[in-house]
């Protein structure tokens, strides 16, 4: 398959004002996507966004592009990415678009597409859109222009969907939960879901101003959440990222519960309830502790490339339903079509309530191996694995680990970073090895 020019592992993303996240490119992207999707009879798409200030500008540009291709648009306003996937299905729209850069800072933004089934577009369709981008933009006749409208009750619809994934015979009454919405798209969703299910809710990161999304809060920085959970003597903390497709939890002791532990809890509970179908898909970054814990339960485990789209591909191939990245992307295909932080968190809460156990107790069956990840900033496209010095350091580290740990180096699919990960039995040793390899990468 041809190399994609604009689309990465999670749509098109970059710094606002720098190509391709510019009004003129996004306008043409809307036109190109409209042209490709219209070939299959598409006449209406949903457009949602997170809380970045640039979302207003980009949704206007997208709408103009779609309209010029004869495609109508319906706006939801600030909504989580998984909400757009859900609403695209329920409104029988032919595609969904999310304007978001997920966990990135406010000055970044991006465009993600969903098919009419609420799934990310196939690579083949993304390549068709890229081919249209190389053509000169034109416009349909005036009587064929797409119209724009708004969906005023989008938030309420999605809140009810999230609640529907929680066991009807259970309640969150008696639980005190701190929820950090990263000043992002879930600020008006997650607190209401938890409150309506009976929990006492304490909110942080729920005051977006267009500039503070993911700023020292949310799933990528849980320091404030840990402090608040301990100060309030809460039962747990719930941290979402800017667009709500990932979740990290914190137990009452202040311990961080990442995507590996979350999927372990969910898989074990589904096994107990006789609801587990097949096994679990993780990624190359998934902790070896997850693999060992699932094996002890007799649950198959497979690794996919990093990126939830690759986890999804593997799940579909195996006809399984559970997958996750340790960053907090959790796929529950019996509930929804894409990563959903709120829905994933609710499944953990079901296990807590049903078994009358704390979050800390639910994690006791799994031991995470020390894992150190260092992000190395790069200014240009480099391949560290083609560098002899980097390879030499990696071989030295692997020879010392002797099969009791792992080394992984990969390019980020969303940021100009090289990610260096080392995993093993001793945290001090693992940290030293990761720093040695990162230093070698910096010298490339």
Residues with a known catalytic role: 102
Q: Which two tokens stand for residue 96?
A: 């969904």
Question: How many other C-beta atoms are found inside a 10 Å radius of the C-beta of residue 149?
Answer: 10
**Alpha-carbon distance 214 to 414, whole Å?**
15
**Alpha-carbon distance 266 to 271, whole Å?**
9
Q: What dihedral angle (degrees, nearest 10) is formed by the CA atoms of 67, 86, 42, 114?
A: 80
CA 307, 347, 311: angle at the middle one, nearest 5? Answer: 15
Residue 128 burial class via C-beta count within 10 angstroms: exposed 0-12, middle 13-18, buried 19 and up: middle
Mark 4-33 as b/e (b = at least 16 C-beta within 10 Å): eebbbbbbbbbbbeeebbbbebbbbbbbbb
User: Interhelix angle for 23-38 vs 54-68, to 10°?
Assistant: 40
**Alpha-carbon distance 443 to 104, whole Å?**
26
| Three-state secondary structure call for residue 160 | helix
Residue 281 φ/ψ, nearest 5 degrees: -110, 125
| Three-state secondary structure call for residue 371 | strand
Q: Are 91 and 40 in contact (CB under 8 A)?
A: no
Q: Which two tokens stand for residue 391?
A: 């390879």
**Alpha-carbon distance 23 to 25, whole Å?**
6
CA 350, 355, 361: angle at the middle one, nearest 5? Answer: 95
* Residue 191 CA to its chain's centroid (Å): 19
Considering Cα of 376, then 381, then 384, then 388, what sign does the dihedral take?
negative
């Amino acid at each position: 398959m041809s190399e994609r020019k604009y689309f990465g592992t999670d749509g098109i993303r970059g710094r606002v004002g720098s190509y391709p996240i510019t009004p003129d490119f996004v306008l043409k992207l809307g036109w190109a996507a409209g042209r490709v999707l219209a070939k299959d009879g598409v006449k209406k798409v949903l457009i949602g966004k997170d809380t970045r200030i640039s979302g207003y500008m980009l949704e206007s540009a997208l709408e103009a592009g779609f309209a010029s291709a004869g495609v109508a648009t319906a706006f939801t306003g600030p909504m989580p990415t998984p909400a757009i996937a859900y609403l695209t299905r329920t409104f029988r729209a032919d595609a969904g678009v999310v304007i978001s850069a997920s966990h990135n800072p406010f000055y970044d933004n991006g465009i993600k597409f969903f098919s009419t089934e609420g799934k990310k577009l196939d690579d083949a369709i993304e390549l068709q859109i890229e081919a249209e981008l190389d053509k000169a933009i034109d416009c349909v006749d005036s009587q064929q222009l797409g119209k724009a409208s708004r969906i005023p009750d989008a938030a309420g619809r999605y809140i009810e969907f999230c609640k529907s994934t929680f066991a009807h015979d259970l309640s969150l009454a008696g639980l005190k939960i701190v929820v950090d919405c990263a000043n992002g798209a879930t600020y008006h969703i997650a607190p209401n879901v938890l409150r309506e299910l009976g929990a006492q809710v304490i909110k942080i990161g729920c005051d977006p101003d267009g500039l503070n999304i993911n700023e020292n809060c949310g799933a990528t920085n849980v320091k404030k959440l840990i402090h608040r959970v301990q100060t309030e003597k809460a039962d747990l903390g719930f941290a979402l990222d800017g667009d709500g497709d990932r979740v990290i939890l914190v137990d009452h002791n202040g311990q961080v519960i990442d995507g590996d532990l979350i999927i372990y809890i969910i898989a074990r509970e589904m096994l107990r309830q006789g609801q587990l179908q097949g096994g679990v898909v993780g990624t190359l970054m998934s902790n070896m502790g997850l693999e060992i814990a699932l094996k002890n339960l007799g649950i198959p485990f497979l690794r996919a490339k990093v990126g939830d789209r690759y986890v999804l591909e593997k799940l579909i191939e195996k006809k399984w339903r559970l997958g996750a990245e340790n960053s907090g992307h959790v796929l529950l295909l019996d509930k929804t079509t894409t990563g959903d932080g709120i829905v994933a968190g609710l499944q953990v809460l079901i296990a807590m309530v049903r078994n009358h156990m704390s979050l800390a107790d639910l994690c006791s069956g799994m031991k995470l191996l020390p894992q150190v990840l260092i992000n190395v900033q790069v200014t240009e496209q480099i391949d560290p694995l083609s560098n002899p010095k980097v390879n030499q350091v990696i071989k030295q580290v692997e020879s010392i680990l002797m099969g009791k740990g792992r080394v992984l180096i990969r390019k980020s699919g969303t940021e100009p970073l090289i990610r260096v990960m080392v995993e093993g039995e001793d945290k001090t040793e693992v940290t030293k090895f990761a720093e040695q390899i990162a230093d070698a990468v910096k010298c490339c």
